Amino acid sequence: MKGAMVNFIAIIIGSGIGLLLRMGISESCKNIIMQAMGLAVLLIGIKMALASQNSLIIVLSLAIGATIGELVDLEGRLNAFGMLLTRMIGSRFGDVGKGFVTASLVYCIGAMAIIGSIQEGLTGDASIIYAKSLIDGTISVIFTASMGIGVMLAAVPVLLYQGAITLAAAALQNLVTDSMLAEISGTGGVLIIAISLTMLKIIRIKLANLLPSLPLAIFLVWLGWF
């Protein structure tokens, strides 16, 4: 779990720098920065989505995953937790809930988080996660300057999520295939695109309700029906 720990520290450091910068950035500057980050996230999502080798798996994963997520109301639960954080910490350092939810989704859904953690678990090589840590640390500066301290709190789910994947990969190394990695990357890319559309205020998507699509993509590949 060395990679997950490095990623955790990078987000904390980047967020700390962002908090210092936040004091001297105007509202109009924060808005244009968020728009720029939204476009960058859109590009990342498109590149990830194109990694898929079977678009039918993505379609089915999203359809079934969205149904499950809506029934369980993952979005509502995540937002409720975000509002709880805002009430506990206050609004002095920005919308804590929004920063936490947005940053957690961006940091955790990406292909580098999943594939990098799996690689570390299988081979002990954390180079992908180290590269991701550099990217996340940079993004956290911008995100924190725009949305506040909630971005720093997102380091905790990153540590738990990536660490869990690393441990699971080490335990199940004989079951992971290249096809699984390709389809979870493609499905994750679509979710990243959804994040960018929300950041750009083009459309409000209940992104958390789509999260079950990720494990479903692996399951559908494992079934081998497509």
Residue-wise pLDDT tens digits, 144-159: 887 888 889 889 989 9
Does residue 152 contact residue 8 with C-beta atoms inside 8 Å? no
Average pLDDT, the chain: 82
Q: What is the pLDDT of residue 7?
A: 94
Question: Measured in whole angstroms, how far is the alpha carbon of residue 60 from the centre of its chain?
Answer: 21
Q: What is the pLDDT of residue 67?
A: 94
Does residue 135 contact residue 113 with C-beta atoms inside 8 Å? no
What global pTM score does this model have? Answer: 0.72
Collect the ranges in the chain with pLDDT lower than 50.
Answer: none
**DSSP symbol at 177:** -
CB count within 10 Å of CB 20 equals: 11
Q: Give the count of domains, the chain.
A: 1
Q: What is the pLDDT of residue 90?
A: 62
**DSSP symbol at 51:** T
Q: How far is CA 198 from CA 102, 118, 203, in A?
A: 9, 29, 6
Residue 126: domain span: 2-223
